[in-house]
Amino acid sequence: MIESYLVDRMFSNTRFLDELANSEGQVTPQWRKLAHFYERMGAQRMEQFHEDVSRQLRENGVTYNVYGDPDGMNRPWNLDPVPMVFNSEDWAVIEKGLIQRSTLLNYILKDIYGSRSLIKDGHLPFELIYNHKGFLRHADKIQFDAEQQLIQYSADLARGPDGQMWVLHDRTDAPSGAGYTFENRAAMTRVFPDQLRENQVRKISSYYQTLKNTLVHLSSKNNDNPRIVYLSPGPTNETYFEHAYLSSLMGFTLAIGEDLTVSDGYVWLKTIKGLEKVDVIIRRVDDVFCDPLEFRSDSHLGVVGLMEAVRQQKVLVINPLGCRILENPGLMAFLPKLCRHILGEELILNSVATWWCGQEPAKTYVLEHFDSLIIRMIYRDGGNKSVYGGNLNAEEKTKLIAKINKSPYLYVGQEMVDFSTTPSWINKNLEARNAVFRSYIVADSENNRYAVMPGGLSRSSPEKGVFMVSNQTGGISKDTWVLGKAADAQTTVPKAKTRHQSMEVTVLPSRTGEHLFWLGRYMERSAFTVRLMRMALQTYNESDEDIRTSEDIVLTTLLKSLTRLTGTLPGFTKKEVLANADQELLALALDVNKVGSLAQAIQSFLTNGYAVRDRLSLDTWRILDSISAELTRMRQQDATLTEVYHGLDNMVIKMMAFYGLNIDNMTREATWHLLNVGRFIESSTNTCTVLMSMLTNSFNDEVDKALMEDTLRCNESLVTYRYKYRSNLELHGVLNLLIVNEENPRSLIYQILKIDKHLSSLPALVEGRQLSPARKKLLEAVTMIKLCDIDSLCTVTTGSRKSHQNLKEFLKELIALLNEISVFVSEDYFSHTGSRYSMIQSSILPEI
């Protein structure tokens, strides 16, 4: 395998330097152990390693969203099992260069929003700064009390033909990838533990602890126990997995813009127990989207008034608003001189050759060498992209040159770097692919220095000769190995600064609480629907083909109950649908666009789970992934009812696994209580719906007994009934077991008491009040059940047909109460505007 790789390199006449082999075709020292390992394993074993790595990431829920791609949401993260490798000598130069560059950019940032002496003294052209969208005049003269204003920094690097590392891009606004880097290393550690030990690969965990220590240090000057939140654009963002992962890893509260509000100059987090003051915001929202009041008014991602809170120094935002100015590629043309002027040193890591067109000689050079340069605007957004001049047709070239001549200060030309190739596992073979490396640097404020992660996120192209390597364009991620003993590299993990930290109750944002509440509801809704649908399908498959479906009372009742449970009216209440049930059953099971269908309920369950993934354990996420995979298998093209039935068997097992893990693993905090409030409200409502659909009409003895058995089976209580009563099925015993028996976990009284118990454990919203409106309604429901007369509920009334009218009215009233309870819970814990306790008219509640 290695030999064929070397032969291919020698006969390909490539102009690229290769990381694995030198110009003589010999394996470089840092790759020798790995190359020997790959050769010993062979292609078949390497492909198995690849599958193992992919499975690890898939089970851990590592995803990446691709904008504009209908299949791009929650796309599995792609990791090459072959790492990017640096030896200790190379890394020493890179590390020193990154520290120098961070220090230089930090100085420039402070000067731009401070004295602006670099502009006044002619070291930086004012057109380059003032015409960049990242220069925020609102941030002028705003700096927090620390030498280092630039806290997090990333640089994209590639090795050129001369063997030197070149900086392609500077990332300072909201640099991404650190979470994926940690997860990449975790997956590689599980699959290749021996190779990491044998190659003495340095650990990367020091970066994350340094970041946490720095944030605590900066904020603890004003607060002994600072509240730190991680601000994300939300679940649809391309790197949302990383936001949830890092917030959970470092113990910060994950929030989106709507979770925060500004009042009295401070930023507050909306939690289920009220507003909590925020001290530090780590933002992953671009600066101009952070405050719609002062920047982009169309932004729904930020917090109104955030800039004023920053201006009054009542909140610390990391990285500071306005630091996107440092991503200006035009700065690269001036960094060598600035480094000599500011630091008195030569720039260690050179930027890719850059010509800023705002200077006439540079513009002339760019236009003369247009076909061989990358043309970029000095700021990046969704409306402009880098282009290779040689790829433009005559009309496109003319238009772009006209734009450059009209506004030359907005454009740069950059040299196309033939960056090196590295071994990559492509199509079950080891092939050379161009690769770039993203480094991560963090300020160590206590020691007034910058620390570099000994590793990072590398990406290789899936195709040969492709230089635009990014995740959005299909780039493959690679773990980055820095070789050498940790002691030599001084990469010991800094100790956590816990002297200012004290244990406190976990803060739960209202939005997160709402997602947990609906996670519980959709979990129970999906499980109930699965159980009832399995029974309906089993009865449908066993029914006599000579008898019309509409004439089989038990089957008809099951199908109509399924329609009422899912709310997909008219459904099986229409005779023509009953006569040809296959299509409706398939749609109920598989059509994710059908409101109320099983597929939509499961998808909503997964969506709410994804929104609170920072609150779920790894094992829980693996179960969610298996549920998602099962739904995908069920929805395969041309699925039959038989295949759906088998899929439901698997689905109910996975649902119960999630339920069991929920009981065993979640701490008994607000997360646990809200999830279970939602779960028991949904379960109680569904129990009432099934009882009303299955048992309120009276037929003959044989049909009534069959329906009672199905009702018990749907509520997982058939075996309990047989052991408890040891008699034939009777309505009195069924209703007693499913309504008033407090020892049966599937009974209405048990579930409603559980709702009350969980609500009583949530934070009290009004001091001194014993019962909230929701708990008053629960007391009403409990009293109603305890005072009910089972004999009266079993009474048969005659009319157009026999029915248990008292039972029907009793269940309708319970459903109305449960709907009111759900509304009150939402108003209590998920709403921060309007009247907290508005009156709910039962007449407007939907009737099932």
> For 370-399, how does the pLDDT look when each residue is reduced to its tens digit (9 = 90+)?
999 999 999 987 667 888 898 999 999 999
C-alpha 465/C-alpha 161 separation (Å) is: 14
Strand bridging mode 429-444 / 152-159: antiparallel
H/E element, 380:
none
pLDDT at 377: 93
Q: What percent of the chain has pLDDT over 70?
A: 90
Q: What angle do CA 539, 544, 548 make, to 5 degrees?
A: 95
Q: How far is the first Cα of the chain from the last one, in angstroms, to the nearest whole number?
A: 65
542 and 662, same domain (yes or no): yes
640 and 713, same domain (yes or no): no
Instruction: Centre a 10 Å sphere on the Cβ of residue 355 and count the other Cβ atoms it contains.
Output: 22
Between 582 and 380, name the one with better pLDDT: 582
pLDDT of residue 834 exceeding 60, the answer is no
Strand bridging mode 476-482 / 79-86: parallel
HSE-up of 417 (CA within 13 Å, CB side)? 29
Between 63 and 407, name the one with better pLDDT: 407
Q: What percent of the chain has pLDDT over 90?
A: 62
Which of 445, 466, 495 marks a domain boundary? 495
500 — pLDDT class (breaks 50, 70, 90)? very low
| Nearest of 34, 26, 165 to residue 101 by alpha carbon | 165
Tell me the helices (H) and strands (E) count for the chain, helix number first.
Answer: 29, 21
User: Helix, strand or coil for residue 242?
Assistant: helix
C-alpha 75/C-alpha 221 separation (Å) is: 42
pLDDT at 844: 31
Q: Are 301 and 295 in contact (CB under 8 A)?
A: no
C-alpha 532/C-alpha 567 separation (Å) is: 14
C-alpha 195/C-alpha 191 separation (Å) is: 9
pLDDT at 363: 95
757 and 682, same domain (yes or no): yes
131 and 56, same domain (yes or no): yes
pLDDT at 615: 85
Is residue 302 included in any domain, yes or no? Answer: no
Position of tokens 């209405």? 748
pLDDT tens column, 408-425: 999 999 998 888 889 999
472 and 605, same domain (yes or no): no
Instruction: Centre a 10 Å sphere on the Cβ of residue 637 and count the other Cβ atoms it contains.
Output: 4
**Arithmetic mean of pLDDT, 465-469:** 58
pLDDT of residue 173 exceeding 60, the answer is yes
pLDDT at 485: 75
508 — pLDDT class (breaks 50, 70, 90)? confident
776 — pLDDT class (breaks 50, 70, 90)? very high
Is residue 225 included in any domain, yes or no? Answer: no
C-alpha 281/C-alpha 289 separation (Å) is: 14
pLDDT at 838: 35
Ramachandran angles phi, psi of 552, nearest 5°: -90, 100
Give the sign of the dihedral formed by CA 65, CA 67, CA 73, CA 78. Answer: negative
pLDDT of residue 13 exceeding 70, the answer is no
Ramachandran angles phi, psi of 698, nearest 5°: -110, 130
Q: Are 519 and 609 in contact (CB under 8 A)?
A: yes
| Assigned token pair, 240 | 């949302």
| Nearest of 413, 389, 397, 224 to residue 329 by alpha carbon | 413
C-alpha 319/C-alpha 116 separation (Å) is: 20
Which of 646, 666, 686 marks a domain boundary? 666
Determine which of 430-439, 612-621, 668-677, 689-698 has the lowest per-residue pLDDT on average: 612-621
Give the sign of the dihedral formed by CA 630, CA 631, CA 632, CA 637. Answer: positive
522 and 491, same domain (yes or no): no
Q: With b meaning 16 or more CB within 10 Å and e meaning fewer, what string describes 413-442?
A: bbbebbbbbbbbbbeeebbbbbbbbbbbbb
- Cα 71 to its chain centre, rounded Å, is 16
Q: Are 77 and 479 in contact (CB under 8 A)?
A: no
Q: DSSP letter at 570? A: S
Residue type, 125: P
pLDDT at 274: 85
Between 21 and 443, name the one with better pLDDT: 443
Q: DSSP letter at 507? A: P
The side-by-side arrangement of strands in the sheet containing 316-318 is 253-255, 228-231, 280-283, 316-318
pLDDT at 419: 85
| Nearest of 360, 352, 309 to residue 329 by alpha carbon | 352
**Residue 841 neighbours by CB under 8 Å, 6+ apart:** none
607 and 745, same domain (yes or no): no
pLDDT tens column, 434-443: 899 999 999 9
151 and 100, same domain (yes or no): yes
**Arithmetic mean of pLDDT, 244-268:** 91
Between 295 and 222, name the one with better pLDDT: 295
C-alpha 74/C-alpha 240 separation (Å) is: 9
Q: DSSP letter at 275? A: E
- Dihedral angle of Cα 817, 818, 824, 827, to the nearest 10 degrees: -140
Is residue 130 included in any domain, yes or no? Answer: yes
Determine which of 385-394, 606-615, 760-769 has the lowest per-residue pLDDT on average: 760-769
Ramachandran angles phi, psi of 740, nearest 5°: -110, -5
Is residue 295 included in any domain, yes or no? Answer: no
Strand bridging mode 253-255 / 228-231: parallel
pLDDT of residue 354 exceeding 80, the answer is yes
pLDDT at 717: 92
489 and 536, same domain (yes or no): no
Position of tokens 């898939």? 58
Is residue 236 included in any domain, yes or no? Answer: no
pLDDT tens column, 536-573: 999 888 876 656 566 789 999 999 999 999 999 899 98
pLDDT at 70: 47
C-alpha 642/C-alpha 325 separation (Å) is: 60
Residues paired with residue 846 on neighbouring β-strands, in sequence order? none
Is residue 216 included in any domain, yes or no? Answer: no
Instruction: Centre a 10 Å sphere on the Cβ of residue 541 and count the other Cβ atoms it contains.
Output: 10
Between 809 and 59, name the one with better pLDDT: 809
Q: Are 169 and 326 in contact (CB under 8 A)?
A: no
pLDDT tens column, 287-339: 999 999 999 888 889 999 999 999 999 999 999 999 999 999 999 999 999 99
Residues paired with residue 374 on neighbouring β-strands, in sequence order? 388, 414
C-alpha 112/C-alpha 130 separation (Å) is: 10
Q: Are 142 and 101 in contact (CB under 8 A)?
A: no
Q: Are 92 and 484 in contact (CB under 8 A)?
A: no
**Arithmetic mean of pLDDT, 619-645:** 88
User: Helix, strand or coil for residue 161?
Assistant: coil
pLDDT of residue 490 exceeding 50, the answer is no
pLDDT tens column, 31-65: 999 999 998 998 899 999 999 998 888 877 787 76
User: Helix, strand or coil for residue 370?
Assistant: helix
- 3-state SS of 180-241 is HHHHHHHHHHHHCHHHHHHCCECCCHHHHHHHHHHHHHHHCCCCCCCCEEEECCCCCCCCHH
Long-range CB contact pairs, 62-71, < 8 A, 24+? 62/180, 62/183, 62/187, 62/241, 63/240, 63/241, 64/180, 64/238, 64/239, 64/241, 64/471, 65/236, 65/237, 65/238, 65/239, 65/240, 66/238, 66/471, 66/472, 67/238, 67/472
| Assigned token pair, 154 | 């990333």
Is residue 622 included in any domain, yes or no? Answer: yes
Determine which of 179-193, 385-399, 498-512 has the lowest per-residue pLDDT on average: 498-512
- 3-state SS of 714-733 is HCCCHHHHHHHHCCCCCHHH
Q: DSSP letter at 350? A: P
Q: What angle do CA 839, 841, 843 make, to 5 degrees?
A: 175
Is residue 312 included in any domain, yes or no? Answer: no
C-alpha to C-alpha distances, 108 to 101, 103, 444, 663, nearest whole angstrom: 11, 9, 18, 53
Which of 666, 701, 732 marks a domain boundary? 666
51 and 183, same domain (yes or no): yes
H runs (alpha helix) in 726-794: 731-735, 748-760, 773-786, 790-794
Mean pLDDT estimate for the chain? 87
Segments forming the whole domain that contains residue 786: 667-848
- Dihedral angle of Cα 553, 555, 556, 557, to the nearest 10 degrees: 80
22 and 100, same domain (yes or no): yes
H runs (alpha helix) in 635-714: 641-665, 670-695, 701-714
606 and 691, same domain (yes or no): no
Q: Are 345 and 100 in contact (CB under 8 A)?
A: yes
pLDDT of residue 799 exceeding 50, the answer is yes
C-alpha 295/C-alpha 453 separation (Å) is: 33
| Number of independent structural domains in the chain | 3
Residue type, 90: D
| Assigned token pair, 10 | 């020698």
